[in-house]
Amino acid sequence: MKRATQLTALAGVAALALAACGQAPDEEGTGGGNSAASDFKPCIVSDQGGFDDKSFNQLSYEGVVQAAEELGVEAVDVQSQSESDFKPNMQSLVDQNCDAIVGVGFALSATTIESANANPEIDYILVDDAADADFDGETDADNIKPLLYDTAQAAFLAGYLAAGYSETGKVGTFGGQPFPTVTIFMDGFKQGVEYYNETKGEKVEVVGYTGGEDGSFTGGFEANETAKTTAQNIIDQGVDVLLPVGGPIYQSAIAAIQDSGRDIALIGVDADFYETDPSTQPYVLTSILKKMDVSTYEAVLASGQDEFDTEPYVGTLENGGVDIAPLHNFEDKVDAALVDEVNELRDQIIAGEVEVTSYLAK
């Protein structure tokens, strides 16, 4: 198996650059068929959200299952209820002789690095983290493939769309915790609104986030009263578009929208909420997509076919790893000219004509 780690990053609170992005994921699969050994065992461990979070845990799980089915083997999964479950859950997969282990989310980074160094014969796939705890620009184990997503690019489109859709001139966002994988959405969203204002001469305001750790955060990733109150505080400031970033906290945001009695559009994250959670359909303007199912599928399939490599994959608008979802029920509510502008903006970002800054930008 190839073990060529090519992550050349300068990571910190403000910046991380990658020298190489992985190849674009193939939406239709590579057609590898049942070429894996019959005893190949792909495994996955969730973070606290669980595999039914309608978001990144669920997408990653679906990618593993798809790869296992194509390889003709059974996938093994284990769910974490709290951070204290990470190490024992990971070790349980090692003890079951897993050949490839997917750790879902940055919270599992330290556990994944530790386990990978202790078990160099296992292929590890880490979703949403560079596995570079010492920030020296290299993955901290030779057998980890990081799967990363420059969601700021897609969030930029969502911010521009939200600003053009808003009638109150105020849009809002809040997050679970101020980790880079959370704030990258909020940063891109804010940049998109600012670009709209710059090009249109408008003054649409972003409520709930001014940059970095300066914003509204719930302190966790649970749908609870704290998340609902956080959403309500932003709604009370007059926003008519709301972007909650952090897995299930969108459910609390919808509860706050319902209580407000106002017409407020929601923007989903990670998955297309319209598809994964039908209860959101009356509220979802669009979703900021991280195609973790595709990239996870590709990585597990490569491991099963003895073609695993540790080159970091970075999803972008250009390679299809990130994007925004269709407008679905909001198609008739959004001006066609605004839709055309968003599509043109996507092309401009891909061409490098419009710059979106993030800790994953080259």
Each domain of the chain, given as residue ranges in start order, spans: 42-149+292-315, 152-270+322-351
**CB distance 144 to 312 below 8 Å:** no
pLDDT at 216: 97
**Per residue in 296-308, pLDDT tens?**
999 999 999 999 9
Same fold, 42-149+292-315 and 152-270+322-351: yes
- The identity of residue 79, as a single letter, is Q
- Top-level CATH class of 152-270+322-351? alpha beta
Provide the token pair at 50: 């669980």
The domain over range 42-149+292-315 is classified in CATH as 3.30.565.10: no
Among positive and negative, which fits the CA dihedral 315, 299, 243, 336? positive
Number of other residues whose CB lies within 10 A of the CB of residue 72 = 14
**Percent of the chain residues past pLDDT 70, beyond the cut:** 89
Q: Mean pLDDT across the stretch 262-285? A: 96
Is the pLDDT confidence value at 64 over 90?
yes
Is the pLDDT confidence value at 331 over 60?
yes
pLDDT at 323: 98
**Per residue in 105-158, pLDDT tens?**
888 999 999 999 999 999 999 999 999 998 888 999 999 999 999 999 999 999
pLDDT at 52: 78
pLDDT at 14: 33
Q: DSSP strand E in the chain: where?
A: 42-45, 76-78, 100-104, 123-127, 144-149, 170-175, 205-207, 209-211, 214-215, 241-245, 265-270, 284-290, 313-315, 322-324
Confidence class of residue 362 from pLDDT cuts 50, 70 and 90? Answer: low
Higher local confidence (pLDDT), 22 or 225? 225
**Per residue in 143-161, pLDDT tens?**
999 999 999 999 999 999 9
Provide the token pair at 110: 């330290």
Which positions ≥6 away from 227 have C-beta within 8 Å? 218, 244, 246, 249, 251, 252, 253
Which residue is associated with the tokens 């590898």? Answer: 32
**Per residue in 166-205, pLDDT tens?**
999 999 999 999 999 999 999 999 999 999 999 999 999 9
Q: What is the residue-averaged pLDDT of the chain? A: 89
Cα atoms in the 13 Å half-sphere on the side-chain side of 292: 32
Which residue is associated with the tokens 């994953």? Answer: 360
Which residue is associated with the tokens 């540790």? Answer: 310
CA-CA distance, 360 to 354, in Å (whole number)?
16
Is the pLDDT confidence value at 8 over 50?
no
pLDDT at 48: 80
Number of other residues whose CB lies within 10 A of the CB of residue 2 = 11
